[in-house]
Amino acid sequence: MVLLEQLTPVERAVFLLREVFDYNYQEIAHIINKEPTTCRQIFSRAKQHIHANRPRFNSTPEEHHQLLNQFLLAVQAGNLHDLIQLLAEDAVVYSDSGGKRPAATRPIIGIERVARFIFGLAKRAQTAFIIEIKEINGRAGVVVYDNISKLPISIFSFDIVDSKIQTIRAIINPDKLKQFEK
């Protein structure tokens, strides 16, 4: 919320319409009375501003790893209460399938929704899988491998803010998973 307040009113409107409500640039242009290409530029600037100013890593590598282990234990135990204790109030999950696998097309926002989404993923796993903690984008993350094929099926990276999981990025795009093949 604080980051959104740093944007101009037009940037904030364009960013929210695009990112939260999934409007296309033509629809946004009609709403704010600007050209679609201008809206695209406004969105790009707003997104850069937000990413430049958000606290990306607010934990030590040790704290990050410890929180990740607690997260995995809560998920494996099916303990909703423990999982919720690890998440920030405004936690969010982003999924990237590259359109090649079924995935959430919009961000999952809010502590309860994120927790239930994560448990839903864990329950839907139809085959046994292997979970490994590996370095992803400079921090500990999770790589999930299919137990039979040994191929990676998903990657999860985490942003920690104030000792809580703020953002989870779920990568299931097969093209991006190749670098984690065994």
Q: What is the pLDDT of residue 1?
A: 46
Of 53, 77, 94, the position where a domain reaches its end is 53
- Among 7-11, 65-69, 116-120, 131-135, the least confident range: 7-11
Q: What is the pLDDT of residue 34?
A: 92
Q: Are residues 42 and 120 in the same domain?
A: no
pTM for this entry? 0.66
Q: Which residue type sits at 158? A: F
Strands, E, within the chain: which ranges? 87-96, 108-109, 129-136, 139-146, 152-161, 164-171
Q: Are residues 28 and 86 in the same domain?
A: no
Please give the tally of structural domains in the chain. Answer: 2
Q: Are residues 44 and 78 in the same domain?
A: no
Q: Are residues 88 and 157 in the same domain?
A: yes
Q: Are residues 91 and 36 in the same domain?
A: no
Rounded Cα distance, 140 and 133, in Å: 6
Q: What percent of the chain has pLDDT over 70?
A: 87
Q: Are residues 156 and 93 in the same domain?
A: yes
**CATH number where 66 lies:** 3.10.450.50
**CATH number where 13 lies:** 1.10.10.10
Q: Are residues 40 and 89 in the same domain?
A: no
Q: Are residues 106 and 169 in the same domain?
A: yes
Q: What is the pLDDT of residue 5?
A: 67
Query: Are 17 and 46 a contacting pair, CB within 8 Å?
Result: no
Summarize pLDDT for 56-110 with one digit per residue, the tens.
556 788 999 999 999 999 998 889 999 999 999 989 998 876 666 666 768 888 9
The residue-averaged pLDDT of 20-44 equals 93
- Tell how far CA 97 is from the center of its chain: 12
Q: How is residue 64 annotated by DSSP?
A: H
Question: Which domain does 117 fall in, by range?
Answer: 61-180
Q: Are residues 13 and 99 in the same domain?
A: no
Query: Are 133 and 140 a contacting pair, CB within 8 Å?
Result: yes
Q: Are residues 41 and 102 in the same domain?
A: no
Rounded Cα distance, 78 and 100, in Å: 29
Q: Are residues 98 and 9 in the same domain?
A: no
**Tokens linked to 111:** 């502590």
Q: Are residues 29 and 46 in the same domain?
A: yes
